[in-house]
Amino acid sequence: MTELLRAVFVAPFADMAGNMPFLIEVLIGGVAAGLMYSLVALGFVLIFKASGVFNFAQGVMVLFSALTLVGLMERGVPVVAALALTALTMIALAFAIERVVLRPLVNQESIILFMATIGLNFFLEGFGEMIWGSNVKKLDVGIPDTSFMVRGVQVNRLELTAALTAAVLVAILAILFQRTKIGRALRAVADDHEAALSIGIPLKTIWVVVWSVAGLVAIAAGIMWGAKSGVQFSLSLIALKALPVLILGGFTSVPGAIVGGLIIGVGEKLAEVYWGPLVGGAIENWFAYAMALAFLLVRPQGLFGERIIERV
Amino acid sequence: MIYREAGQFKSTYASDQAIFPIVQDRWVVLVLLLGAVIVPPLVASEYWLQAVLIPFLIYALAAIGLNLLTGYAGQLSLGTGGFMAVGAYSAFKLTTAFPALNIFVVFALAGVAAALVGVLFGIPSLRIKGFYLAVATLAAQFFLLWLFNKVAWFTNYASSGTITAPPRTVFGAMVTGPGATAPARYLTALAFVIVFALVAKNLVRGRVGRCWMAIRDRDIAAEIIGIRPLRTKLLAFAISSFYCGVAGAEYVFLYLGSAETQAFDIAVSFLVLFMVIIGGLGSILGSFLGAGFIVVVPIFLTNVPHLVGLALPVALQKQIELMVFGGLIIFFLIVEPNGLARLWQIAKEKLRLWPFPY
Amino acid sequence: MPATLAERPIQQAAPASEPRREPLLQVEAITVRFGAVQALTDVSMDIHRGEIVAIIGPNGAGKTTLINVISGFYHAQQGRILFEGKDRTALKPYDVAALGVARTFQNVALFRGMSVLDNIMTGRLLKMRGHFLLDAIYWGPARRQELEHRAAVEHVIDFLEIQAIRKTPVSRLPYGLQKRVELARALAAEPQLLLLDEPMAGMNVEEKEDMSRFILDVHDEFGTTIALIEHDMGVVMDISDRVVVLDYGRKIADAPPDAVRADRAVIDAYLGVAHD
């Protein structure tokens, strides 16, 4: 019994303390993974913040954008043009989604919209694979997946780029929401579709804008993930991982998506490296959810979410 | 004209509360049931039984389970696969440990095991609602599958990591295992689903169903008029997981023969959710319709292109299947969020008037 | 055979020997804050058995908050609630309901996925005993209980004259009928204390007359104690025994209707001054 207690509560921390450079590398790995999650979660937050819809299809949008980019590049389109075309595709996709899915479901309950995005998720999965094929593709955007040393610690170029991209995106989006007229309109729409309509906010336009921006964020996420692990189907499952991030960070907070991603990324990595061997590994499969669950029990609205006061 | 209720007056509350208050309905259902029991074992081919009817019955049971939790009680769950896995692995451990135990009893006990696990993962539902609860059920899904993968005790230390249904007989007939005939397995699945559908219907038309629907529709008002939310939600999780557990046990014992945890992964959770959405949330009939629909679509996609001379490669077929599923979900949510069950109701109402337009 | 609504004695409260001294409900110095917003400050009032008490006041005065505290939905930062002389301040809403308190809501809180009949049947839930296993089998004790309660609910349906719509899904009903169904649901619980939050909001003159008649009938036939929040002064003056006036979370008057009508503070806060 004491063996077990030692192994769970003492030994892992001893390991951490005993090999600091390794610990830092693990932490960096966690931060990097966390930021990648954050990039995906950002897309969720955007759409939720602006339309009240939980877009389950965000993960598949990441995949779809990456597939399009790689597919174009494989056919010889130069990188910049391919990026532009991919962006245009995602914008076109946003138009299509607004027309076909969102407009007919205006002011339905959020659970209905959520399930519609599940349907969208599967549709896009099949569609993407049908057009571009289902084998794993290598995505090369000119950033090598190599590391350099900083004071005895390895830092990966790709992960660094991802971190910087995330930071820039967050800054832009935060400004967009807080300072601009369109940001205010977006927040109004998130609160109440009908009310927003009745004061003249062009719902259709807003939705297309939001989903386009989410699509562009998806491209960024797709590039990072694709470059790291290749463009493949499992990318869409990242969406499921983004859920714990959103729970921690709150569904409507742009900085929350970053903080949540970091906590999940680091927590997961630490758990896997230091506690994983105790139970045979692969804790990463479920640890994030367990963390989110534990968190929810204590603080149902997440770190940054607003406290809901129920009215009757 | 033909389907008229004229002359059918209910003079007692009892007749008003019956499951099939309209006489014509009762006859149709009776005929269907008799037909279901007699016809397929005699007439249907091995392929039809194995590829269509048996999975349909099993999925219908799981769909009823999920519908009770998500459709009636309003608790979104993405953990169906995990609960089915609990049923399957419990059944396996029980029957290998107690070979003499009647396999029907084993299934029921497996359901109880799943119910207990369901209650455990349902406890957060008091504090957590909506999407957030879906995450808790995802935790269940991923954790349970990881558990069955890692802990070799569950597979009786099999090197292949699979569980296999051992041969078991009931009333002298071989029901599971390599020797079990398709008709025997079909009749077993049919018996279970009929009994449990009836139980489900009884639950939802009475006190329990009303508590669930009240929590689903307005949980705060429900609490104020005296409904205890935790008890109600946990009961929903328990019963729903029981159904999914039994379905999971049937999935391995009556359908697949042997399985790995892969058979219960998140795709299954989504599949059953699709059945419930397309069939109709909050409808027992809908669970059947949805299950039937989802089972038939891939068969349709496999066979129809052949009939019209097109040969589709397997990968393309899978992709079209995904697109069709996804598209249909969206279509149903737009056109009729209450699913096939509501469409059926509308058809019946039209039938009352036919051939007159109004 | 358990007493159905039709067979209940008129005054179910007092034993024949001595009249109950204490009021049915006592609200003592209740203070409620939501963050920086002070919703109720030091509000005290009593409700005696068999009374009809109206709670009035400008919008935002805290009337619904007060009802929510009595229901157990909000918990006051200070003060006590006593029901039948016993401290019930910390009770959960479902326990408060079990004491015999039923209510209607300002924004109709019917269960949209169910029919009128099923909604009213939910009002009987506290009176239903049973185990889910018995319910699963249905034929036997569960069925008997279901039919008994159905009979009781039918009495309420007759009483409120909503027979024609009993199978209609509530989402399809006009607003006035929804309010009536909500009243039916509250009545089905055979409450000792009925809390009505703006039962006549949004109704025209005829509907208000009907609703007033129903409320008075409930009071006369079943002896139910009633507290209602209402804005229509005509209704308030006509049917209430006593009027409590709230303004900015404080009680500013507590007297029979005529006295309140003439009260200076109430006129300034709420009723308005007549100008020539």
Only one residue has tokens 């300002």, namely C106
DSSP B167: P
CA gap C90, C72 in Å, rounded: 7
Q: Angle C132-C166-C115 (CA atoms, 0-180°, nearest 5)?
A: 50
Interface check for A105 against chain B (CB to CB < 8 A): the answer is: yes
pLDDT score, position B1: 55
Interface check for A308 against chain C (CB to CB < 8 A): the answer is: no
CA gap C66, A223 in Å, rounded: 56
Closest alpha carbon to C121 in C79, C169, C154: C154
Do C196 and C96 lie in a common domain?
yes
Q: Please give the residue of chain C at the shortest CA–CA distance from B283.
A: C113
Q: How many CA atoms does the CB half-sphere of B356 hold within 13 Å?
A: 7
Chain-centroid distance, C-alpha A97: 19
Do C58 and C128 lie in a common domain?
no
Full-model pTM: 0.88
Scanning A135-202, the segments in alpha helix (DSSP H) are 157-179, 181-191, 193-198
Do C268 and C141 lie in a common domain?
no
Rounded to a whole number of angstroms, the distance from the CA of A43 to the nearest CA of chain B is 17
pLDDT score, position C17: 43
Q: How many domains does chain B fold into?
A: 1
This complex has an ipTM of 0.86
Contacts 24+ apart (CB under 8 A), A110-113: A110/A52, A110/A53, A110/A54, A110/B130, A111/B76, A111/B130, A112/B333, A112/B337, A113/A52, A113/A53, A113/A54
Contacts 24+ apart (CB under 8 A), C17-25: C20/C49, C22/C82, C22/C84, C22/C85, C23/C47, C23/C48, C23/C49, C24/C48, C24/C49, C24/C83, C24/C84, C24/C192, C24/C193, C24/C225, C25/C70, C25/C81, C25/C82, C25/C83, C25/C193, C25/C225, C25/C227
Chain-centroid distance, C-alpha C130: 27
- The kind and range of the H/E element at A149 are strand A147-150
Of the listed ranges C4-18, C150-164, C256-270, the one predicted with least confidence: C4-18
What digits encode the pLDDT tens for the residues A283-305? 877 888 888 888 877 877 666 66
Q: What angle do the packed helices B207-217 and C141-159 form, to 10 degrees?
A: 60
Q: Which two tokens stand for residue A278?
A: 């105790």
Interface check for C109 against chain A (CB to CB < 8 A): the answer is: yes
Residue C40, sorted as left (phi over 0), alpha (psi -120 to 50) or beta, turns out to be beta
Rounded to a whole number of angstroms, the distance from the CA of C95 to the nearest CA of chain A is 18
Cβ contact B221–C97 (<8 Å): no
- The kind and range of the H/E element at B236 are helix B229-250
How far, in Å, are B55, B341, C26, C29 from residue B190 at the CA level? 11, 21, 59, 63
What residues are paired with A115 via a beta bridge?
A: none
What phi and psi, each to the nearest 5 degrees, are found at residue C42? Answer: 50, 50
Segments in chain B below pLDDT 70: 1-7, 311
The average pLDDT across C173-190 equals 93
> Can you list the positions of beta strands (E) in B202-248?
none
Question: Has residue B74 been placed in a domain?
Answer: yes
List the CATH number of the domain containing C250. 3.40.50.300
Cβ contact C109–A309 (<8 Å): no
* Structural domain boundaries enclosing C216: 23-100+191-276
CA gap C103, B39 in Å, rounded: 55
- DSSP calls for C216-239: HHHHHHH--EEEEE---HHHHHHH
How far, in Å, are B81, B189, C14 from residue B85 at the CA level? 6, 17, 58
Could you tell me how many CB contacts below 8 A there are between chain A and chain B? 125
Chain C neighbors (3+ CB pairs < 8 Å): A, B
- The kind and range of the H/E element at C194 are strand C193-197
CA gap C157, C149 in Å, rounded: 12
CA gap A96, A104 in Å, rounded: 12
Better pLDDT: A22 or C110: C110
Q: Is the pLDDT of residue C101 over 90?
A: yes
Cβ contact A300–B128 (<8 Å): yes
CA gap B338, B335 in Å, rounded: 9
Do C198 and C268 lie in a common domain?
yes
Which of C188, C216, C233 terminates a domain? The answer is: C188
pLDDT score, position C270: 73
- Which of the four pLDDT bands, split at 50, 70 and 90, describes residue C23? confident
Question: Has residue C141 been placed in a domain?
Answer: yes
Interface check for C68 against chain A (CB to CB < 8 A): the answer is: yes
What digits encode the pLDDT tens for the residues C33-62? 988 889 999 999 999 999 999 999 988 889
Do C261 and C147 lie in a common domain?
no
Q: Amino acid letter at A222?
A: G
Q: Is the pLDDT of residue C70 over 60?
A: yes
Question: Has residue B179 been placed in a domain?
Answer: yes
Interface check for A312 against chain C (CB to CB < 8 A): the answer is: yes
Q: How many CA atoms does the CB half-sphere of C19 hold within 13 Å?
A: 6
Q: How many domains does chain C fold into?
A: 2
Cβ contact B207–C150 (<8 Å): no
Query: pLDDT digit of tens for each residue in chain A (312 aa)?
Result: 777 777 777 777 777 777 787 888 888 888 878 887 888 888 888 888 777 788 888 888 888 888 888 888 888 888 788 888 889 999 999 889 888 888 888 777 777 888 888 889 889 888 888 888 777 777 766 666 677 777 666 677 777 777 777 778 777 877 777 777 777 777 777 777 778 778 887 878 888 888 888 888 888 888 877 777 766 666 667 778 888 888 888 787 778 888 888 899 999 888 888 888 877 777 877 888 888 888 877 877 666 666 555 566
CA gap C97, C100 in Å, rounded: 5
What digits encode the pLDDT tens for the residues C133-158? 888 888 888 888 999 999 999 999 99
Rounded to a whole number of angstroms, the distance from the CA of A146 to the nearest CA of chain B is 32
Which of C158, C188, C218 terminates a domain? The answer is: C188
Residue B283, number of CB atoms within 10 A of its CB: 24
Question: Has residue C59 been placed in a domain?
Answer: yes
**CB-CB: which of C34, C64, C106 is closest to A309?**
C34
Do C196 and C275 lie in a common domain?
yes
Interface check for A126 against chain B (CB to CB < 8 A): the answer is: yes
pLDDT score, position C2: 39
Closest alpha carbon to B201 in B288, B299, B131, B272: B288
- DSSP calls for A220-263: HHHHHHHHHH-B-GGGGGHHHHHHHHHHHH-TT-HHHHHHHHHH
**CB-CB: which of B202, B223, B227 is closest to C137?**
B202
Do C252 and C222 lie in a common domain?
yes
* Structural domain boundaries enclosing B148: 42-353
pLDDT score, position C10: 42
pLDDT score, position B288: 95
Do C47 and C77 lie in a common domain?
yes
CA dihedral B195, B197, B200, B201 (to 10 degrees): -110
**Considering only CB atoms, which chain B residues are within 8 Å of C125?**
207, 210-211, 225-227
Question: Has residue B285 been placed in a domain?
Answer: yes
Only one residue has tokens 């998500």, namely B70
Do C213 and C274 lie in a common domain?
yes
Closest alpha carbon to A44 in A206, A234, A210, A167: A210
pLDDT score, position A309: 57
Contacts of B90 (CB under 8 A, 6+ apart): B109, B110, B113, B114, B245, B249
Would you list the domain boundaries of chain A? Answer: 2-235
Q: Which two tokens stand for residue C40?
A: 């109720």
User: Which of C115, C133, C138, C143 would best serve as a mutation to test chain B binding (most B beta carbons within 10 A)?
Assistant: C138
Do B92 and B176 meet the contact criterion of CB atoms below 8 Å apart? no
Q: Is the pLDDT of residue C11 over 60?
A: no
**Considering only CB atoms, which chain B residues are within 8 Å of C147?**
13-14, 17
CA gap A100, A93 in Å, rounded: 10
